Amino acid sequence: MMKTFNRNAVALATSLLISGIAFSGTVSADEKLTVYGKVNVTLQSNDKDGTSDTDVKSNASRIGIKGSTKINDSLKAIYKVEWQVDIADNEDKLFKARSQWIGLKGNFGAVMIGRNDTMLKLSQGKVDQFNDYNGDIKNLFNGENRLDDTVTYISPSFSGFKLGATLITEDSKGSNSKNGTSIALMYGDAKLKKSDIYAAIAMDSDVKGRDTVRASVQVKFSDLKLGAIWNDSEKVDGTDQGDGFLVNAAYKIGATTLKAQYSDSDDKKSGDVVSVGADYKLAKNVKVFAFYTDYSFDDSSDASHLALGMEYKF
């Protein structure tokens, strides 16, 4: 049954993408459709609790369709349908839903309804230098949630500031059978292309049964980027409280970017993580990279990962 479902899912997704590509040549001037994605794969040597193995890992490779259509001069409809694609492991795990929503965008900002990252998750922007890899902050910090049955609003920019809010309805699997909220105040450009600083403060209230506060900042000094995150989370009943922090740096030398990151936490996991790596751009949308991540947990369950990989964005 599961194999049949996955084959049907693959067939449906492929049909949608092919239809999207074909349709993209016939959209009107008021419509925009984009087929996009990335393939990111590593060859890794993993050592966990004294046991070693080698594998090929797909790191949140994805494919999606997004677009918009103009309703009038100040309003347009928007949508996004994205799947994570595991191109390295068993085909039964090929497709996994990521952000999938429909909404409206205008002078008032944007409203999106469906499955989406919470504003607390979105608020960290591009600070995590090892996002989607073994050093990802989701392995240490609570709050990295992408949830169904949500409504998200993001305001327009006011002197560089934006406000965002997510309502997680009680029907969501991450709602704890009650409505939850995730709000964030953000300043600057998360990609650091329009500004040299990005900062955000965010808070979850009763999201997956937890209250979480997160502060994120990243600053660019010419070719050097410095970033930091602080995260504090506890269950809504006041138990299981923990916090943690992350600091990192990235330095660009020509086509090469050198990266280093340190995290310490007693939140989701108790311990620290050290990651170092380097990216080398072969083209605007193609890079090869390497990283080493070392976990040292307080429960003595240590692990390390050495990886060599390639990424292609389209």
- State residue 3's pLDDT score: 43
Per-residue confidence of the chain (314 residues) as pLDDT tens digits?
A: 434 444 444 444 555 554 444 444 455 667 889 999 999 999 999 998 788 999 999 999 999 999 999 999 999 999 999 999 999 886 666 789 999 999 999 999 999 999 999 999 999 999 999 999 999 999 999 999 999 999 999 999 999 999 999 999 988 876 677 899 999 999 999 999 999 999 999 999 999 999 999 999 999 999 999 999 999 999 998 889 999 999 999 999 999 999 999 999 999 889 999 999 999 999 999 999 999 999 998 876 789 999 999 999 99
- State residue 302's pLDDT score: 87
Closest CA to 165 of 152, 150, 179, 148: 152
Residues in the chain, how many? 314
Residue span of the structural domain in which 139 resides: 2-313
Report pLDDT digits (tens) over 170-203: 888 766 778 999 999 999 999 999 999 999 999 9
**Number of domain units in the chain:** 1
Query: Model-level pTM?
Result: 0.88
> Cα angle at 107 between 190 and 215, to 5 degrees?
30
> Cα angle at 137 between 133 and 140, to 5 degrees?
115
- State residue 28's pLDDT score: 64
- State residue 24's pLDDT score: 46
Closest CA to 56 of 65, 67, 46: 46
Whether the CB-CB separation of 57 and 306 falls below 8 Å is answered with no
Whether the CB-CB separation of 228 and 262 falls below 8 Å is answered with no
Report pLDDT digits (tens) over 285-300: 999 999 999 999 887 6
Q: What is the DSSP string of the chain?
A: -HHHHHHHHHHHHHHHHHHHHHHTTT--TTEEEEEEEEEEEEEEEEEETTEEEEEEEE-S-EEEEEEEEEEETTEEEEEEEEEEE-SSS-GGG-EEEEEEEEEEEETTEEEEEEEEE-HHHHHTTT--TTTTSTT-GGGT-S---EEEEEEEEEPPPBTTEEEEEEEE-TTSTTSTTS-EEEEEEEEE-TTSSS-SEEEEEEEEEEETTEEEEEEEEEEEETTEEEEEEEEEEEETTS-S-EEEEEEEEEEEETTEEEEEEEEEEESSSEEEEEEEEEEEEEETTEEEEEEEEEEEETTS--EEEEEEEEEEE-
- State residue 249's pLDDT score: 98
Closest CA to 165 of 182, 180, 150: 182
* Residue 256: CATH number of its domain: 2.40.160.10
Query: How many whole angstroms separate alpha carbon 92 and alpha carbon 226?
Result: 40
- State residue 15's pLDDT score: 52
Both tokens of 143, joined, read 């709050």
Classify each residue of 246-265 as buried b or exposed e, where b means 16 or more C-beta atoms within 10 Å of its C-beta: bebebbbeeeebebbbebbb
